[in-house]
Amino acid sequence: MKSTLFRALLASAALGLGATSAFATECIAPADAGGGWDFTCRQIGKILYDLKLVDQPVQVTNMAGAGGGLAFSHVVAERGKDADLIVAASSATTTRLAQNAYGGATADQVRFVGAIGGDPGVIVVAKDSPYQSLNDLVEAIKADPGSVAFAGGSAAGGFDHLKPLMVLKAAGFTDVAKVKYIGMDGGAEAITQTIGGFTQAMTGDMSEIVGFIKAGDVRPLAVLTAERVPGFEDIPTAKEQGFDVEVVNWRGLYVPHDISDDAFNTWADKLQKVADSAEWKAVMESNGLAPFTKVGADFQNWVNDVVAQTTDLSKEIGVIQ
């Protein structure tokens, strides 16, 4: 049923793609206008043209469907050798691939070219919580997994759910299925659950709870980035507290699988130039993104590890078989 739906959606979408041939580069945003993937295509596309890294404006094609699965299937089935095609991606892309949400599609059917910004993952507790550090929280869960419930803005098995489980795995805790998680309708609702004492901790993205942090309503225990976030230097990273975890909702691109290595490396080089530009730094600052730059083979290898880890965790908590 799922594969039949993909084929039907794919056939209808292909009818509307004939008008892009006048543009040297096309960026597919796997969602409607206005979302995160659309933002990625339009901002990166604009800077590519402004920096003269492409000789014509980038055409943005919105291809919503199946949480990114329609665009993924289109690229794999119809555009596998198109070296002028880039596709917006994020942590949601790899999470869904790891959980087989794209009708049997796998991450190795495309090539992930790079990420150049991210919304940092955070773990926070209420301001009057007894947990003073990430280690305090982890040790409490190790002693009694049922004593701590996390609230998050994604459904069970989603990206927010997986964040604290990755920290716990890094701490040597293996019985992650016993960890309580309550999925809410967005980060704002999740943080109010923790502030109100209904859950002991909240897991989410920095952008969702900046206001609560600045107001002093919560105590951030860790930010899940490689380095402390500019503007929030008082929040320690999980890594510096001894947990080798880096979890951000990254923004980046993938390209078709069958383009040449030279074409792949060219896109990696262009994306690095965008990341290094003053224009992109201004975009990050105005949109609450933190530095997170991985391009080329380094990013592809990182994605492979993330997909494998997400698959394992998803099996452990029963999201997939």
Q: Give dist(CA 203, CA 220) in Å, integer.
A: 10
- 8 plus 18 within the same structural domain: yes
Report the pLDDT value the prediction gives residue 20, as an integer from 0 to 100: 40
Residues 6+ apart with CB under 8 A from 187: 152, 153, 160, 202, 204, 205, 208, 209
Rg (CA), the chain: 20
Q: What is the CATH number of the domain that holds 68?
A: 3.40.190.150
Question: Could you say which of 221, 241, 261 is where a domain stops?
Answer: 241
Report the pLDDT value the prediction gives residue 23, as an integer from 0 to 100: 52
- 178 plus 223 within the same structural domain: yes
- 256 plus 193 within the same structural domain: no
Strand pairing category for 180-183 and 149-152: parallel
Report the pLDDT value the prediction gives residue 200, as an integer from 0 to 100: 98
CB 156 within 8 A of CB 319: yes
- The answer to whether position 217 is within a domain reads yes
Q: Give dist(CA 303, CA 309) in Å, integer.
A: 10
- 136 plus 214 within the same structural domain: yes
The amino acid at 32: D
Q: Give dist(CA 177, CA 146) in Å, integer.
A: 10
CB 292 within 8 A of CB 141: no
- The answer to whether position 307 is within a domain reads yes
- 97 plus 144 within the same structural domain: no
- H/E stretch holding 125 reads strand 110-126
Q: Tell me phi and psi for residue 253, to 5 degrees.
A: -140, 150
For the whole model, what pTM was predicted? 0.82
Helix 261-276 vs helix 36-50: crossing angle, to nearest 10: 90
Report the pLDDT value the prediction gives residue 230, as an integer from 0 to 100: 81
- 12 plus 31 within the same structural domain: yes
Q: What is the CATH number of the domain that holds 186?
A: 3.40.190.10
- The answer to whether position 51 is within a domain reads yes
Residue the block writes with tokens 């709870």: 209
Q: Which domain holds residue 237?
A: 120-241
How many domains are contained in the chain? 2
- 60 plus 104 within the same structural domain: yes
- The answer to whether position 321 is within a domain reads no
Q: Show pLDDT as tens, one digit a residue, over the chain (321 residues).
A: 444 444 444 444 444 444 344 458 999 999 999 888 999 999 999 999 999 999 999 999 999 999 999 999 999 999 999 999 999 999 999 999 999 999 999 999 999 999 999 999 999 999 999 999 999 999 999 999 999 999 998 888 999 999 999 999 999 999 999 999 999 888 889 999 999 999 999 999 988 888 899 899 999 999 999 888 888 899 999 999 999 998 999 999 999 999 999 999 999 999 999 999 999 999 998 887 888 999 999 999 999 999 999 999 999 999 998
- How far does Cα 195 stand from its chain's mean position? 25
- The answer to whether position 181 is within a domain reads yes
